[in-house]
């Protein structure tokens, strides 16, 4: 347990927040700090072919220790953290033998992590939790995944009696802003398939995710003195508000679950002259996803007719549901499922209400289901991770490597 805790705390202590407004890769210079540390660590523990390219993508190999042909498989995690909440000066706290009660994260600010609100906490009564101090996110998304992959490779190196084929690992920047797989060289990685260690609750095993798009709607107005504005002023704020109010009230993140899609307006800014609405669109079903995008296009066209073509729309796809690419090779999901079952972990197979690097990688030719990393309440001050879940994730990685060698 202690090596996992020490490694995880070392990783989360580095601020690696990504920036959606940057055009570089990585999107922030500070991501390089951890990237270079990881490069050195992978070399020091004995992995081979350790590389880091000019965009911060890290790859390494654990060579096969069997004398037969075994498919090369991979494990992938991202080292950036979400721009939604600060990751500066993370001060993780360790709660041993969690008693199932409310945890005071920050007495001064009265910030509390309560099982009355976050029911999943009760799953981990008696375990060791790593939590925040209430002022930052934790970074378990996805430094828990990195911790688990590095620890599993270190374990396999120390235990050559566990037979496995070639294992490739990859660490990526900028996943949180939807760019984690953009520059990932699948051919260079050279795996038949891979797994992202980027899920939440212990047992999660996912090979479906949202189809995703983002939209930016801009209204251009005309500012005139309000005392003389009749038939002259065009208030961009009013137009953007009118657009926002036209979206279905029930089809938002806070009122949907499981395979239900949504529209999510996450930013409204502006003045009389210029106002913008930024949103994301999500749906598991490709047909409904297309209908949602057509709804936005139709709404903008309708209101442009009403407001003299003063509205602009930028609508871009981000990623697609990986199920289409994984189902033809469903045995890779079955191997992960068997690994969990052998270890006494109940597989929780469900669609992701989000996306991972694996969704884009699957469409680039690397089928890539997602496995739990153990963290909860990502992207905010209530984030936590049970150490026992990280230990189990290490066990799952090791068992997948072993099972793959046995089955081929």
Residues taking part in catalysis: 80, 175
Neighbours of 334 (CB within 10 A): 12
Q: Determine the Cα–Cα distance for residues 74 and 189; give it in Å rounded to an integer.
A: 8
Distance, CA of 71 to CA of 217 (rounded, Å):
46
Rounded-to-integer distance, Cα 181 and Cα 57, Å: 9
- Kindly state the tokens that stand for 403: 């099972």
292 phi, psi to nearest 5 deg: -65, -45
| CA torsion angle 371 360 284 176 (round to 10) | 70
Q: What does the block give as tokens for 213? A: 């798009």
What tokens were used for 39? 């490069």
Per DSSP, the three-state class of 316 is strand
> Please, which residues have CB within 8 angstroms of residue 57's CB and are 6 or more apart in sequence?
170, 171, 172, 173, 183, 184, 185
SS3 call for 91: coil
Angle at alpha carbon of residue 175, lines to 131 and 179, rounded to 5°: 160
275 beta partners: 219, 270
Degrees (nearest 5) of the Cα angle 212, 12, 10? 145
Rounded to 5 degrees, φ, ψ at 279 are -150, 165
- Quick one: DSSP state of residue 161? T
Cα-Cα end-to-end distance for the chain: 32
Tell me the C-alpha distance between 266 and 151, whole Å. Answer: 37
The tokens for 297 are: 């296009």
- Per DSSP, the three-state class of 202 is coil
């Amino acid at each position: 347990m202690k090596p996992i805790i020490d490694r995880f705390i070392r990783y989360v202590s580095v601020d690696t927040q990504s920036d959606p407004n940057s055009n570089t890769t990585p999107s922030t210079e500070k991501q390089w700090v951890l990237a270079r540390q990881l490069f050195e660590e992978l070399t020091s523990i004995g992995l081979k072919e350790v590389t880091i390219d000019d965009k911060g993508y890290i790859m390494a190999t654990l060579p096969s220790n069997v004398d037969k042909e075994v498919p090369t498989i991979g494990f992938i995690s991202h080292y950036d953290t979400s721009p939604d909440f600060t990751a500066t000066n993370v001060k993780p706290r360790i709660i041993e033998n969690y008693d199932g009660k409310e945890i005071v994260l920050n007495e001064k600010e009265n910030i509390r992590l309560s099982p009355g609100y976050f029911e999943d906490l009760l799953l981990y009564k008696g375990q060791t939790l790593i939590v925040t101090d209430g002022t930052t996110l934790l970074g378990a998304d996805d430094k828990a995944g990195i911790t688990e992959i590095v620890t599993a490779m270190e374990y396999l190196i120390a235990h050559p009696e566990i037979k496995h084929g070639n294992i490739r690992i990859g660490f990526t920047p900028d996943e949180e802003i939807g760019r984690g797989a953009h520059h990932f060289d699948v051919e260079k990685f050279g795996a038949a398939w891979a797994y992202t260690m980027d899920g939440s609750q212990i047992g999660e095993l996912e090979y479906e995710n949202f189809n995703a798009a983002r939209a930016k709607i801009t209204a251009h107005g005309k500012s005139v003195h309000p005392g003389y504005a009749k038939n002259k002023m065009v208030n961009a704020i009013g137009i953007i508000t009118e657009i926002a109010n036209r979206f279905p009230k029930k089809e938002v993140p806070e009122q949907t679950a499981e395979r239900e899609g949504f529209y999510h307006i996450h930013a409204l800014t502006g003045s009389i002259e210029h106002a913008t609405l930024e949103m994301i669109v999500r749906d598991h079903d490709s047909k409904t996803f297309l209908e949602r995008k057509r709804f936005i296009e139709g709404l903008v066209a309708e209101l442009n007719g009403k407001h003299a073509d003063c509205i602009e729309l930028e609508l871009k796809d981000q990623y697609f549901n990986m199920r289409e690419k994984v189902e033809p090779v469903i045995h890779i999901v079955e191997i992960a499922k068997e690994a969990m079952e052998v270890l006494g972990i109940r597989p929780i197979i469900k669609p992701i209400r989000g996306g991972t690097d694996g969704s884009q990688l699957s469409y680039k030719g690397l089928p890539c289901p997602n496995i739990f990393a153990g963290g909860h309440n990502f992207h905010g001050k209530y984030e936590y991770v049970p150490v026992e879940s990280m230990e189990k994730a290490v066990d799952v990685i090791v068992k997948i490597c072993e099972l793959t060698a046995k089955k081929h």
